[in-house]
Amino acid sequence: MRIGLGINYAGGFKEVAAEVADLEQAGLDIVFVPEAYSYDAVSGLGYLAAKTERVQLASGILQLYTRTPTLTAMTAAGLDYVSDGRYVLGLGASGPQVIEGFHGVPYDAPIGRTREVVEICRKVWRRERLEYQGKYYTIPLPAERGTGLGKPLKLINHPVRDRIPVLLAALGPKNVQLAAELAEGWQPIFFLPEKARDVWGEALAAGTAKRDPELGALDIYAGPALAIGDNVEPLREFVKPHLALYIGGMGAKSKNFYHSLATQYGYGAEADRIQELYLAGKKDEAAKVVPDELVRDISLIGSAGFVKERVAAFREAGVTVLNVVPLAATAGERVKLIEQLRELV
């Protein structure tokens, strides 16, 4: 089982580069650079490529709508080159709050666009002359929609790899099915090992049935909060506001995937109450309603023995990468947590 974490996207790259190098030495296997509406992820990934040697570097996530599929492929090939084949292309749809609110681009057809972006990227990496007729992307642009001067081109450079691993962030059944069919990796959110099969098993099975055997087994990236010690259980309270934000405040009241997920986990009444309070502006009260058991089961917060048991549960549920969120105030404490976790996995 591999260990990963995401850097703070609100900070600067230079400040975290030294810490990532120390985490690499501590046993970290993969680091994610997010892209929300702060600095772009590509700049940070390139910077970290020059400051690290072994750790994999992943975008977590590049947003589908903010780049053309071909530029996404070119960027991935460039990052794979500067990192000597250590890049993982994390892709996701993000949400209308960012895509329409910050980029001014319509948020439409995320599933169909995801498939086409991945297919186009793989053509580019194989250095095929790019001809693609999709529902959402057509390359080259036909004469009736452009000048008529466009012609099929292929990537000038020879990529380090002709198949860069693709990781899809997905939650809904159709998105998860697509990830299982098309991607090397799948990143869910709020992964609860004992309930994962009930929630996602059918979608994963349907996607796997269509999966190209050359892709190998699907990597599953869970994202638990991490704290290891004899008296760290109170830190579970720090997870609750994050859960309340997603369960209560993400999406419309009638269409909130995170609320639906909590309901499928068996916390429907609590999810309703969290949403009611959060949408009323009572964020602190909403966080207090988040069940202790839910926080406990999706996290790795407790004694070394407890964490070891929960790691086994994640592994049994198919998780191959623990993309942890260390609950620590300093770089040194975060490095220590990764060292401790390395001994337990």
- Please state which CATH class domain 2-225+302-328+338-343 belongs to: alpha beta
pLDDT at 252: 73
Mean pLDDT of 141-160: 95
Task: Give the residue from 7, 47, 78 showing the smallest Cα distance to 325.
Answer: 7
pLDDT at 255: 79
Mean pLDDT of 266-287: 97
Q: Is the distance from CB of 117 to CB of 214 less than 8 angstroms?
A: no
Q: Using alpha carbons only, how large is the chain's radius of gyration in Å? A: 20
Q: What is the CA angle 183-185-190, rounded to 5?
A: 125
- Per the DSSP assignment, residues forming a β-bridge with 70 are none
- Is pLDDT at 296 greater than 80 in this prediction? yes
Could you tell me how far CA 296 lies from the centroid of its own chain?
Answer: 21
What are the residue ranges spanned by the domains of the chain? 2-225+302-328+338-343, 230-301
Residue type, 309: E
Could you tell me how far CA 43 lies from the centroid of its own chain?
Answer: 18
Which range among 202-206, 254-258, 336-340 shows the weakest confidence by mean pLDDT?
254-258
Mean pLDDT of 102-119: 96
Read off the pLDDT of residues 15-74 as tens digits, 9 standing for 90 and up: 789 899 999 999 999 999 999 888 899 999 999 999 999 999 999 999 999 999 999 999
- Is pLDDT at 113 greater than 90 in this prediction? yes
Q: What percent of the chain lies above the pLDDT cut of 90?
A: 90
Instruction: Say which residues have a Cβ less than 8 Å from residue 35's Cβ, sequence separation at least 6.
Output: 9, 41, 59, 60, 61, 62, 63
Q: Is the distance from CB of 137 to CB of 116 less than 8 angstroms?
A: yes
Q: Is the distance from CB of 194 to CB of 269 less than 8 angstroms?
A: no
Could you tell me what percentage of the chain is helix, strand and coil, using 3-state DSSP and rounding each to the nearest 5? 50, 15, 35
Sign of CA dihedral 222, 226, 229, 231: negative
pLDDT at 4: 98
Mean pLDDT of 324-339: 96
User: DSSP secondary-structure letter at 318?
Assistant: T
Read off the pLDDT of residues 67-93 as tens digits, 9 standing for 90 and up: 999 999 999 999 999 999 999 999 999
Q: Is the distance from CB of 206 to CB of 329 less than 8 angstroms?
A: no
Mean pLDDT of 290-315: 98
Indicate the average pLDDT of the chain: 95
pTM confidence score: 0.94
pLDDT at 9: 66
